[in-house]
A and B are shown apart, each in its own frame.
Chain A
Amino acid sequence: MQTSIGLRRLRINQQARIVAVHANGELGRRIREMGLVPGTLIRVIGRAPLRDPVALRLLDFTLTLRNNEADNILVEPIEESSENKP
């Protein structure tokens, strides 16, 4: 599958690979310094009670970011049969 989608649209427990980060300035820098760069594997592990922000697992740690910040990140979902169960 070569379709890339916004990070916001990932389901919980879905894995994906980052394709591009379209953010500049401080937000872009903060996103990148935490390791959200193209090629990194991520997984959505949860959402806050009001569905925003979102918690991600990447590079062996957990990161949170808001939905509108996640919109700057394009990902390519990876289908995994074992991970599909909630």
Chain B
Amino acid sequence: MTKRITFALAGNPNSGKSTFFNALTGARQHVANYPGVTVEKKEGYLAFQGKNLHIVDLPGTYSLTAYSQEELVARNFLVNERPQVVVDVLNAGALERNLYLAVQFMELGVPLVLALNMMDEVRKQGRRIDTKRLSSLLGVPVVETVARTGEGKEALLEAALDHAGRLEGRWNPLRISYGPDLDPVLQEMEALITRENFLTDLFPARWTALKYLEDDEEIRGMGLKAHSLSKKLEEMAARISDHCQSTLKTSPDSIIADYRYGYISSLLRQDVIQRDETRLRRMDMSDQADKIITHRLLGPMIMIGVLYGLYKLTFTLGETPMGWVESFFGWLGETAGAALPDGLVRSLVVSGIIDGVGGILSFVPLIAIIFILLSILEDSGYIARMAYMLDRVFRTFGLHGCSVMPFIVSGGIAGGCAVPGIMGARALRSPKEKLATLLTAPFMPCGAKIPVFLMLAAAFFPDKGASVMFWITLGAWAMALLVAKALRLTMIRGQSTPFVMELPPYRLPTLNGVLIHAWERTWMYIRKAGTVILALAILIWAAMTFPSLPEEQTALFQSDRAAVLTRLAATAQTSAEIDALAEIDAREAEAALRYSLAGRLGTALEPLSALAGFDWRTNIALIGGFAAKEVIVSTMGTAYSLGEVDPEETATLSEWLREDPTWSPLAALSMIIFVLLYAPCFVTIVVMARESSWGWALFAMGFNTLLAFGLATAVFQVGRLLS
């Protein structure tokens, strides 16, 4: 009854595998990473006919080589975990290519069931697939499904359970002929492998032999550790490779691919597919749409429109719920403030924890909406078109067409967030271009930097807010692309990844798929706010609080306050006295800040930072910005004795700066440049480290800060000479 059966769900990207996984497991799923790599592992549970099914969604792949992490992860899962059955989800509309992966599963010998998915599209196109015939030719169960509607779900589960029950974990590898050049050597290697029991506990002998011919690094590495036979197999593979090169001008792995496709097309030629060529096909409709959507002139215009609409919609829809979250934390802060006695604990809870974490969580509605809209664009097939249209531009800078999404989510159109942006860089399968993308995406003007820019613009470039933002965004793109190019020419050198990519036909996204996708990404962001940001909020609070002002100084402020209070008691005039009290509070806050660790650091850095036009108060704010850019405006408020400054209402701070003699439009420009480019916030650093390594994450922190300071200083000094 309670015996758990493990199903692995495999298939090509765009085969509807994820839709299928969602249809099977619904909300009962769990996402994590495979150990040591940034490939997502999705698992879910399902009760069916009294049996407990554990479903693992393997990453979508086209093949089972060792070239990409996804393929290695899928392969290793099958070999190490030995699931009772593997369900390969195929896009029945492109059966030939989808069978290429299926055939490799069969050569490995796993208990396989094929789900011919998207059968509704196939039928609409007037095509018929003889499923029974395909099943008997391949020797595996084949079930027709439509994942979007759930059609065929039960039949598939039944077939899979039945198949698993009959095989009881036995593997039956398929043997394909690889022609007169490879078959003899394959046979010879296979005999040797079987005789020596070389890795036979993991792989079928012929499969290992094939992998040696394909020059599979992973298998060669495993072999080298396991047995001395490995050397001999490598020699045999090298010899046959030389032979193929000299006589046929080709390599064994290309012969293998040719024969695999040959095997598939010979199968399909046996009356498996019947076509009705008169019917209009979805592909043709997609082609017609692409004539407009990727048109030379219309394409880029539509793309700009879509991107603009995306952000307009996000901010229009996001404003209200963002307000709710902000007022909730405001209320929480007031309530906690009232409940706790005046002192350090109250200051920690209200100024440290609630303000810190609340500031981050107030972005959640915005981020959730961005993710919902992006998921819609992704599932509809438009993102693939954007990569296609922009690849030529990005390649010039050593990036890839698929870099466009991480840049945009990070704030490529002002107002994103680098955390999901960097997580989105996973779509880039090449480690080099992914690294260059995630190192440069944080230059984008994310939602947390914007209040700083708006405040400075209001102070020094009044009525030019919009054009200031436009130039900042343009500057961010230029810097990101130039730095990416510089990195790809120096530290991350290497060939560009092929742009061999599928353009899936346009499809209407499913509500379920979009919501699940968006929720997963949003939850990742929330989890980080709850852990990293909480710790940092406390740390920053401590740095800005300790050491506290010595007794005699607080006493001084106390006596000032007492003087005002006695005057207040004596006269009826109140407003002037209340203002005077507030002014004393603010002066005390400023003095306390200057006395604290952060204040001392800011003061110590002043000789250096003066080169770029920053005084000690700005320094404190910028140091806080290392943790989160949201902190900058509120810290400046405290440092300039203004008490609390709401980042949304920066008018008073702007006025104050305009009056301050140490500030000038030039200093403001210098600060804009610095804030735009310097170290990514701490959450971003943590995510970067997770997606690449701590080395690269710390590099970004140091390099970006130096670059930002260098540029800000250059602008400030040159500007001073000119004026």
Contact = CB atoms under 8 A, between A and B. Distances in A.
B286 A62 contact: yes
A62 B505 contact: yes
A45 B262 CA distance: 25
Interface string B372-395: 000000000000000011011101
Contacts, number: 128
A33 B100 contact: yes
Contact of B94 (A28, A29, A49, A61): A61
Contacts of A63: 500-503
A31 B261 contact: no
Given A29-B63, A29-B67, A34 B97 contact: yes
16 contacts: A29-B67, A29-B257, A31-B500, A32-B254, A33-B63, A45-B290, A52-B392, A60-B95, A60-B283, A62-B283, A62-B286, A62-B504, A62-B505, A64-B499, A64-B503, A65-B498
Contacts of A35: 96-97, 100, 261
B241 to A, nearest CB: 10
Contact of B299 (A26, A34, A49, A61): A49
Interface string B292-308: 00111101100000000
Q: Which 4 A-B pairs have the closest CB atoms?
A: A32-B257, A50-B392, A61-B94, A62-B503
B294 A49 contact: yes
Contacts of A69: 498-500
Nearest to B127: A60
Contacts of B504: 61-62
A31 B389 CA distance: 20
Among the interface residues A35, A49, A55, A65, which one has the most CB atoms of the partner chain B within 10 A?
A49
B602 interface: no
Contacts of A40: 261
Given A51-B392, A60-B97, 18 more contacts: A22-B249, A24-B254, A27-B498, A29-B63, A29-B65, A29-B67, A30-B498, A31-B500, A39-B262, A46-B290, A49-B299, A55-B294, A61-B94, A62-B287, A63-B502, A64-B500, A65-B498, A65-B499
A40 B504 CA distance: 19
A62 B91 CA distance: 13
Contacts of B395: 66
Contact of A34 (B283, B287, B502): B502
Nearest to A31: B500
B507 interface: no
Contact of A60 (B93, B299, B392, B500): B93
A5 to B, nearest CB: 18
A66 B94 contact: no
Nearest to B281: A60
A48 interface: yes
Nearest to B264: A35
A37 interface: yes
A37 B283 contact: no
A81 B498 CA distance: 34
Chain B: interface size category: 35 or more
A38 B258 contact: yes
Contacts of A57: 283, 287
Interface in B72-114: 91, 93-97, 100
Nearest to A24: B251
B11 to A, nearest CB: 14
Contacts of A31: 498, 500
Given A31-B498, A59-B94, A50 B393 contact: yes
B291 interface: yes
Nearest to B91: A61
Among the interface residues B262, B401, B503, which one has the most CB atoms of the partner chain A within 10 A?
B503
A6 interface: no
B577 interface: no
Interface of A: 21-22, 24, 26-35, 37-40, 45-46, 48-53, 55, 57, 59-66, 69
B497 to A, nearest CB: 8
Contacts of A38: 258
Interface string B252-265: 01100110011001
Interface in B257-280: 257-258, 261-262, 265
Nearest to A34: B500
Contacts of B97: 34-35, 59-61
A48 B62 contact: no
B391 A53 contact: yes
A13 B287 CA distance: 11
Contact of B503 (A21, A33, A55, A59): A55
Interface in B23-50: none
B502 A66 contact: no
Given A63-B501, A66-B498, A49 B251 contact: no
B261 A48 contact: no
Nearest to B393: A50
A1 B261 CA distance: 25
A55 B388 contact: yes
A14 to B, nearest CB: 15
A61 B295 CA distance: 20
B391 A66 contact: yes
A48 B389 contact: yes
Contacts of B295: 49
Contact of B500 (A24, A50, A59, A65): A65
Nearest to B96: A59
A84 B97 CA distance: 27
B62 A34 contact: yes
Contact of B391 (A30, A32, A45, A48): A48
A61 to B, nearest CB: 4
B388 A28 contact: no
Contacts of A26: 67, 497-498
Contacts of B287: 45-46, 57, 62
A59 to B, nearest CB: 5
A61 B502 contact: yes
Contacts of B283: 57, 60-62
Given A33-B100, A59-B96, A60-B94, A53 B254 contact: no
Contacts of A21: 254
Among the interface residues A24, A33, A38, A40, which one has the most CB atoms of the partner chain B within 10 A?
A33
Contact of A53 (B249, B253, B291, B499): B499
B500 A46 contact: no
A52 B391 contact: yes
B419 to A, nearest CB: 29
Contacts of A51: 392
B359 to A, nearest CB: 41
A83 B125 CA distance: 21
Contacts of B265: 39
A28 B251 contact: yes
B501 A64 contact: yes
B500 A30 contact: yes
B259 to A, nearest CB: 9
A24 B96 CA distance: 23
A82 to B, nearest CB: 12
B90 to A, nearest CB: 12
A79 B170 CA distance: 51
B253 A28 contact: yes
A26 B496 CA distance: 11
Contacts of B389: 48-50
